[in-house]
Amino acid sequence: MNWLLVVAGAVVGAPLRYLTDRAVQARHDSVFPWGTFTVNVVGSFVLGLLTGVTSAQAHLLLGTGLCGALTTYSTFSYETFRLYENGAKGYAALNVAGSLAAGLGAVWLGVETAAGLR
């Protein structure tokens, strides 16, 4: 029945990703994919927070299900490729470097926050 926890998390994560992406992107008049950037950083933070949770069920529900559906490496890759292909090479490079730095920073912050809550 573990797969049901993954499905339950994904049922929330996928629409949350779509709605967040659209809401964030609507607020920016830029070709930079701020919506995807936002969901990936938030997902990294949540995964970092989960380091303080010992429950396997919570990891399946929130880590695999919710964060798995919320974050998106494939869209990040596609949007970066499209930026590069359309001549926005600086934005493409910024997307790669910024996503990596912000994602790592967010997961670190989540781990530290979880440690502080224990």
110 annotated ligand-binding residue: no
| Contact in structure between 98 and 42 (CB atoms under 8 Å) | no
68 annotated ligand-binding residue: yes
- Going by C-alpha positions, the residue among 7, 109, 12 that lies closest to residue 52 is 109
Residues in Cβ contact with 16 at an 8 Å cutoff, skipping those fewer than 6 apart:
39, 66, 69, 70
CA distance 80 to 92: 5
CA distance 80 to 65: 25
Q: What is the tally of helices (H) and strands (E) in the chain?
A: 6, 0
Annotated binding site: 68, 71
Annotated binding site for Na(+): 68, 71
